[in-house]
Amino acid sequence: MSASASSQRLPLLIYVLAAGVFLMGTTEFVVAGILPEIARDLDIAVAHAGLTITVFAIGMIVGTPTMAILTLKLPRRVTLSLALVVFAIGHVVGALSDDLTAILIARFITALATGAFWAVAAVVAAKAAGAARASKALGIVLGGGMLANVVGVPLGSFAGQAIGWRGPFWALAGIAAVAAVVIFQQMPAENGSGPVPSVRAEIRSLADGRVWLVFAGAAVVCGSSLAVYAFIAPLLTDVSGLDPSAVPLVLLGYGVGAFAGSNLGGTLGSRRPYGVLFLSAAMTFLVLAAMFLFSHSAAAAVVLVALLGLFGMSTNPVLIGMAVRFADRAPTLASALATASFNLGTAVGSWIAGFTLATSLGANGPVLVGAVIATLYFVPLSILLVTERRAPSTRAARPGGRRRTPGASSV
């Protein structure tokens, strides 16, 4: 193998981190597929069992930046490994519990660990890959979460239905414990030559207005696509006329599209970040508009759901890469808040979309909500592009700032 090819190869650590994110993505969504089993086993209503999803989302929104600050002084490999250990413990507690309150507490703690892992993993991946390949590395790491929708969630749901909902919890706990050891071994210890982590520096890094524009974009992009995804089942059955048994296969198409979009977005975003962002924003809006108009056709709905995954998720690695770059001297909190922004957008978008189900729009209501939210994406994106173009010299001269990679284009 040539030296050039070898230099282009990403570190093995990137793929190990992707495996950890795969676990995190699986636990976040697998519960949706086994809610009836949880409700039946605990003798509670399905709506009450659904609190396991709500609590996890709250834990991600609140816990991700909080844990990023609380673990700031820890070596990053310790933080990642410790997060996986806590993740494993949370699942063991959940699997052993017969009380909903105890399970909800375990889910909240698991979400805190998940948030800590996501935030630090993004920073570690970007740093390990280098500035020129940061978006590609983040695409692979975040692709682990997308792959969870393709493999982890369907397998977990199937296992939960076959052997009981506690089975997937035990499996996730065991795999996380092994992953904690592997990550601790694979990730080199920090040499202590870099800047000392500082909470003040992390907060000061948020003074860059571009970081907040990235957060806004992150919230909008997930708010648009996942507002639709949250209520995709009634759309497919009530409007498109599909049999309920076909819904998992359509969601599999969404997962494949999301996995491909995350990796393509990360790879292309390394060279033309704004090109990826604007194209994905435009295509997401067009896909949602087409879905609103043609969702009565089963064939069109199946294709459009897959395209929604492809374009709706392609911006995530680019946005997180930008957050890390703009807060270069203290990126952990910025990465954490970007992750929290994704979850905030999902929570708000799906909450608004839920109200439309009771209107005359019915199951098509969330699609309209998603399309309207998608149009808002161009506001922070356009301001961000103008800001970048107006002050290139300021960015280059900024202490600790990154100069643009030779040959790379910003659009």
The answer to whether residues 221 and 319 touch, using CB atoms and an 8 Å cutoff, is yes
In a domain, 216, yes or no: yes
| 220 in the same domain as 174 | no
Cα–Cα distances (Å) from 397 to 327, 392, 400, 402, in that order, read 14, 9, 8, 9
On whether residue 26 sits in a domain, the answer given is yes
Residue 161: the pLDDT is: 76
Q: Which residue has the higher pLDDT, 354 or 241?
A: 241
Residue 1 lies in a domain: no
Last residue of a domain, one of 187, 211, 238: 187
168 lies in the same domain as 315: no
The secondary structure of residue 191, as a DSSP letter, is -
Distance CA 350, CA 168 (A): 26
- In this predicted structure, the answer to whether residue 400 has a pLDDT above a threshold of 70 is no
Q: Same structural domain for residues 274 and 371?
A: yes
Token pair of 88 as six digits? 């494993």
> The domain spanning residue 266 has which CATH number?
1.20.1250.20
DSSP state of 329: T
Do 254 and 203 reside in the same domain of the chain?
yes
Q: CA-CA-CA-CA torsion for 222, 321, 331, 110, nearest 10 degrees?
A: 40
Terminal Cα-to-Cα distance of the chain (whole angstroms) = 32
Does 385 fall in a domain? Answer: yes
pLDDT at 275 over 70: yes
Q: What is the distance between the alpha carbons of residues 337 and 206, in angstroms, rounded to a whole number?
A: 10
pLDDT at 3 over 60: no
Residue 173 inside a domain? The answer is: yes
Q: What is the pLDDT of residue 97?
A: 93
More confident residue, 193 or 403: 193
Distance CA 269, CA 2 (A): 25
Domain count, the chain: 2
Residues 133 and 280 in one domain: no
Picking from 164, 187, 210, the residue at the C-terminal end of a domain is: 187
Residues 226, 174 share a domain: no
pLDDT tier for residue 163 given thresholds of 50, 70 and 90: confident
The whole-number pLDDT of residue 245 equals 73
Give the torsion through C-alpha atoms of 109, 227, 37, 39, to 10 deg. 70
Same domain, 208 and 168: no
- 284 and 319 in a single domain? The answer is yes
Query: Are 153 and 19 contained in the same domain?
Result: yes
Residue pointed to by tokens 């296969």: 249
Please check whether residue 410 lies inside any domain of the structure.
no
Q: What are the φ/ψ torsions at residue 237 (nearest 5 degrees)?
A: -85, -45
> Which residues, 6+ apart, have CB-to-CB distance to 166 below 8 Å?
94, 95
Residues 240 and 126 in one domain: no
Average pLDDT over residues 108-128: 84
Q: How confident is the model at residue 116 (pLDDT cuts 50, 70, 90)?
A: confident
- 10 vs 97, residue with greater confidence: 97
Q: Which of 155, 187, 219 is the last residue of a domain?
A: 187
Summarize pLDDT for 177-226 with one digit per residue, the tens.
999 998 888 787 765 555 555 667 777 777 778 889 989 998 998 889 87
Shared-domain flag, residues 246 and 386: yes
What proportion of the chain, given as a percentage, has pLDDT over 90?
24
The model's confidence at residue 367, banded by pLDDT at 50, 70 and 90, is very high
Domain match, 183 and 251 both:
no
Q: How sure is the predictor about 8, in pLDDT bands with cuts at 50, 70 and 90?
A: low
* Structural domain span for residue 25: 12-187
Q: Residue 65: inside a domain, yes or no?
A: yes
pLDDT digits (tens, 9 = 90+) for 93-114: 999 999 999 999 999 999 989 9
In a domain, 405, yes or no: no
Specify the 3-state DSSP secondary structure of 195: coil
